[in-house]
Each structure stands twice: as structure tokens, then as C-alpha cells.
């Protein structure tokens, strides 16, 4: 029905607009008297077969914010990668610590399950919606360095307490031999005056902000993705049990996994230095699940 040139044009419609509907393609074909002058009608099934031949399938739409690849954001990615490379080349040793927070709520569960045909897939959940419990964690090439869960959202006081504990743990192990670089996103309490003062008072630590719209540069996003499944595997049923499950699940993440996530994030460095547009393969971070 369609010539190879016409099929290529149909495929290009999809490549140009991943959300285009088959009926829109159908209408464009009928309206186009230049490329499709011999086509007076095109069925939906015929269009589906054309796309299938060219390995085009329906899949979930991945939403990319307009701001993700602006010149400003690409320059910030370039600056971030340059700074990381400068720190690693410095004569003084630097250890990169990726820090982030993630929320958890037992009322949120898997949306799909399995059961015998004709029977609903059922799981038991708490009768009332519980409050969020937030986990803050730090990972490095050495694995999960520190983690702490608290009921409710994280704030300035919580992050300072987390940094205090992290400081005490690390400086006891290697006093004055390493400078620790806290790499995190731009959430407001990370930039609070009290937090900035904390880094001034602790010169062996420094903060480095990740560029916006760049979750692919943040390996701790993949840590939290794996960690959530470890929590679910423990089947917690109340907040006390959930707190324990969240803490214990951190122990299930090994050093090799953290190293692999860090390596994966660094694969984007050349593209950041090249100021390329990046539609990442890491989902946008969600602070609650």
C-alpha cells in the first residue's frame, strides 16, 4: 500500500512527535497531496503494521521538562563535571559523598498484581493513611556511608544533625587526610544559612550542588530505587516496623552496587562537557512514594 519513501515519512512523524495518535497520522496522510498523492484512505490497522515493521511500539510517555536542555542548564552541567574533575586531580585527597532524602508511606503500594482469572488481586494495607517517613542517606565508592530515617519531612535541623554524625564518623576514621565533598541537589534547606555556616565551621567538608534537571548525574537516585524494593520485601505494617525496615534495607545495598551506580552516572560526563542535550534514562526523583 505504501512505498518505502511513504513508510519512512510515517516513521518520521512518530520520531518528530512521540505522542502522535494513529488517527492524526491517518489525517495527515489524507491531507498530504505531495508525498501521499496516491493514498485516498489509510486504515488504523495498516498504519499499525507499518510502524510495527519499523520496530515502533506503544510505550509509556516519558515527560521531559522544557527547561532540561536550556543553554543555562547545559552550562551548569559542564561546570559541575569540570569541578568534579578538578577535585579529583587535586593533590589533596577528596571523597565524593552523594546525599539525598526520600520519603516512604505504607499507603502507597504496587498498583498491579496477579491472581486467578475472575478474582481480584488483593493485598492488605493499613486502614488509615500514615504519615511519611523520610530516609536520608549518603553513599560513596565505599558503599552506604550513613543513613537515618525520621517520621515526617526532612528540614534544616535534621540535615545538620545528619552532617554532624557523618562528620564524626569520617573524621575519626581518617582525620585530616581527606576532604569530603557532599554532592546533593538544590532543595531549599540544603542552601539554608545554617547549613552554609556548618560547612564554614567544618573545613574538611565542602558542598557541591548538582545541576538542575540532571538526575542522571546523581547515583543516589538509583540507590533509592533499589532500596525501596528492599523495604517492601520486609512487609512492614506499621510506622515502627517501617522505620526498622527502612534502616535494615540500607544494609542490603552492597559496595559493588554503589560503585556501579557512580560509574553509570559518570558515563554522562563526556556529553555534559560537550554541552549536549540529554533526555536521561533515569526517572525524575520523587520525594514520596
H or E element at residue 89: helix 71-89
| pLDDT value of position 114 | 67
Residue 226: the pLDDT is: 92
| Residue range 193-244, pLDDT digits in tens | 999 999 999 999 999 999 999 999 999 999 999 998 888 787 776 555 777 8
Greater pLDDT, 156 or 92: 156
Confidence of residue 285 (pLDDT cuts 50, 70, 90): very low
pTM for the complete prediction? Answer: 0.72
Q: What is the spatial distance between Cα 157 and Cα 162, in angstroms, rounded to a whole number?
A: 9
User: Measured between alpha carbons, how far is 46 from 27 in angstroms, rounded to an integer?
Assistant: 14
Confidence band of 166 (pLDDT split at 50, 70, 90): very high
pLDDT tops 50 at residue 287: no
| Helix, coil or strand: residue 182 | strand
**In the numeric block, which cell numbers belong to residue 152?**
515526617
Q: Are 142 and 257 in contact (CB under 8 A)?
A: no
pLDDT exceeds 90 at position 182? yes
How many other β-carbons are positioned within 10 Å of the β-carbon of residue 233? 11
Q: Indicate the burial class of 168 (C-beta count within 10 angstroms; 0-12, 13-18, 19 or more).
A: exposed
C-alpha dihedral over 176, 179, 185, 191, to 10 degrees? 60
What are the pLDDT digits (tens) for 92-151?
889 999 999 998 775 555 566 666 777 676 655 554 455 578 999 999 999 999 999 888
Q: What is the pLDDT of residue 120?
A: 73
Q: What is the pLDDT of residue 286?
A: 42
pLDDT (average), residues 36-60: 89
- pLDDT given at position 38: 86
Q: What is the pLDDT of residues 51-93, one digit of tens each?
A: 999 999 888 776 666 678 899 999 999 999 999 999 999 878 8
Alpha-carbon torsion 264, 134, 164, 174, what sign? negative
Q: How many helices (H) and strands (E) does the chain have?
A: 10, 5
Closest-CA residue to 253 (of 234, 236, 228, 216): 228
According to DSSP, residue 152 is labeled B
Q: Are 219 and 265 in contact (CB under 8 A)?
A: yes
Rounded CA separation 186/211 (Å) = 8
**Cα(182)–Cα(189) distance, integer angstroms:** 14
Closest of 25, 68, 36 to residue 276, by C-alpha: 68
Q: Which of 37, 29, 30, 31 is nearest to 9 (CA)?
A: 29
Per-residue model confidence (pLDDT) at position 133: 84
Amino acid at each position: 500500500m505504501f512505498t518505502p519513501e511513504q513508510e519512512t515519512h510515517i516513521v518520521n512523524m512518530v520520531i518528530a512527535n512521540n505522542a502522535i495518535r494513529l488517527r492524526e497520522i491517518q489525517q495527515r496522510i489524507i491531507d498530504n497531496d505531495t508525498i501521499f498523492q496516491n493514498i485516498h484512505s489509510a486504515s488504523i490497522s495498516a498504519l499499525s503494521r507499518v510502524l510495527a515493521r519499523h520496530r515502533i511500539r506503544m510505550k509509556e510517555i516519558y515527560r521531559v521538562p522544557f527547561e532540561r536542555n536550556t543553554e543555562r542548564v547545559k552550562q551548569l552541567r559542564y561546570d559541575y563535571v569540570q569541578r568534579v574533575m578538578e577535585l579529583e586531580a587535586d593533590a589533596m585527597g577528596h571523597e565524593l559523598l552523594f546525599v539525598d532524602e526520600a520519603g516512604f508511606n505504607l499507603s502507597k503500594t504496587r498498583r498491579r498484581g496477579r491472581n486467578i482469572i475472575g478474582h481480584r488481586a488483593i493485598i492488605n494495607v493499613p486502614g488509615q493513611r500514615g504519615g511519611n517517613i523520610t530516609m536520608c542517606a549518603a553513599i560513596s565508592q565505599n558503599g552506604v556511608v550513613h543513613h537515618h530515617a525520621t517520621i515526617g519531612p526532612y528540614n534544616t535541623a535534621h540535615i545538620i544533625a545528619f552532617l554532624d554524625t557523618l562528620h564524626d564518623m569520617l573524621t575519626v576514621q581518617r582525620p585530616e587526610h581527606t576532604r569530603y565533598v557532599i554532592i546533593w541537589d538544590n532543595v531549599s534547606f540544603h542552601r539554608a544559612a545554617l547549613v552554609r555556616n556548618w560547612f564554614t565551621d567544618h573545613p574538611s567538608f565542602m558542598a557541591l550542588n548538582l545541576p538542575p534537571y540532571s538526575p542522571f548525574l546523581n547515583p543516589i537516585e538509583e540507590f533509592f530505587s533499589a532500596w525501596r524494593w528492599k523495604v517492601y520485601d520486609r512487609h512492614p505494617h506499621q510506622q515502627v516496623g517501617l522505620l526498622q525496615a527502612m534502616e535494615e534495607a540500607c544494609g542490603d545495598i552492597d559496595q559493588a552496587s554503589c560503585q556501579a551506580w557512580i560509574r553509570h552516572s559518570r558515563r554522562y560526563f563526556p556529553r555534559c562537557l560537550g554541552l549536549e542535550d540529554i533526555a536521561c534514562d533515569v526517572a525524575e526523583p520523587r520525594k514520596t512514594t
